[in-house]
Amino acid sequence: MSGADTKTKAIINYIIPYPYSKVGSYEEKYNLKEAHEDMMRLLLSFDRFCKEHDLKYSLADGTLLGAMRHGDFVPWDDDADVMMTRTEYTKLRQVLAEDSEIKVLKIHFLDRVTTKELLEKKIYIDLFINEEKPANELVFKWKKFKTGFLRTAFHNTKVRNVRHDKYNKTYKKIRDIVSSILGLFAKIIVGPRDIFELNDKAVAIKKHKPSGIYTRYTSRMYETGRRFNKKSYDEGYGEVLFRGEKLMALINSDTFLKEMYGDYSLLPSEERRKPEHPVNMLDSPKKCIKFFN
């Protein structure tokens, strides 16, 4: 990263189209008040840890959208998201210690952050790793296949995402059979080896020619369509007000969110204003979880 990373500007979300207080009834409707309070404490712990160790991060996805549109969580959102580049994530892993304020873990190859206290309550925030994809599309597709194949070794777990509910029953059945077969092969090939380390090797950029596009294929194999221009990072990081606290975010957050969601300033339809994560990932079997400190 360049010296632009350290450049800061005024508070980024100085315009709030839909203040939280005007649409906050959904928090009560879906019983999210305590979860939002716990996730806020966790975000503050992560922010404090990053600033103490000179690590750059940004609020991400729904949490960044909430900051820019509501100055708070999206009232019906049931999780929290942050993101780092691969370089910053590597630095994070290097400064982690057993007694660190935060704990970092992977569940199904997806990174999470929690604390010892909130781990008991099964509260975490998603940590996305953004990495520049190879310019060669065949190389990218091969990496995507390898990581997807390794993921099948975690087949038949409790984790489900409501985005998958759009598929019809026949498709789901075929998908389940194929996944079961691939999962059996994956278990045989992986054997006693650390599947998390195998995945990290599979996604490594190494000497591939970069494309100028960030992707999350390193951590979210099933959402590789979420790609965005690396230039979204070029302005560096600033601060957003979130529940009255200053947290870190891309100075170019507006561009980032438009690339992710289009016109994010508009509220979604009433039927879409609901939580999306019916199963807690920490309920996954132990084989799907790896702690780093």
Q: What is the residue extent of each domain of the chain?
A: 3-131+215-291
Q: Return d(Cα 47, Cα 61) in angstroms, integer.
A: 17
Q: What is the mean pLDDT of residues 280-292?
A: 90
| Per-residue model confidence (pLDDT) at position 207 | 78
Q: How sure is the predictor about 119, in pLDDT bands with cuts at 50, 70 and 90?
A: very high
Q: What percent of the chain has pLDDT over 90?
A: 51
| Per-residue model confidence (pLDDT) at position 213 | 85
Q: Return d(Cα 277, Cα 61) in angstroms, integer.
A: 15
For residue 27, what are the CA distances in angstroms to 178, 245, 265? 39, 19, 19
| Per-residue model confidence (pLDDT) at position 197 | 92
Q: What is the mean pLDDT of residues 241-256?
A: 94
The percent helix, strand, coil of the chain (3-state, each to 5) is 45, 15, 35
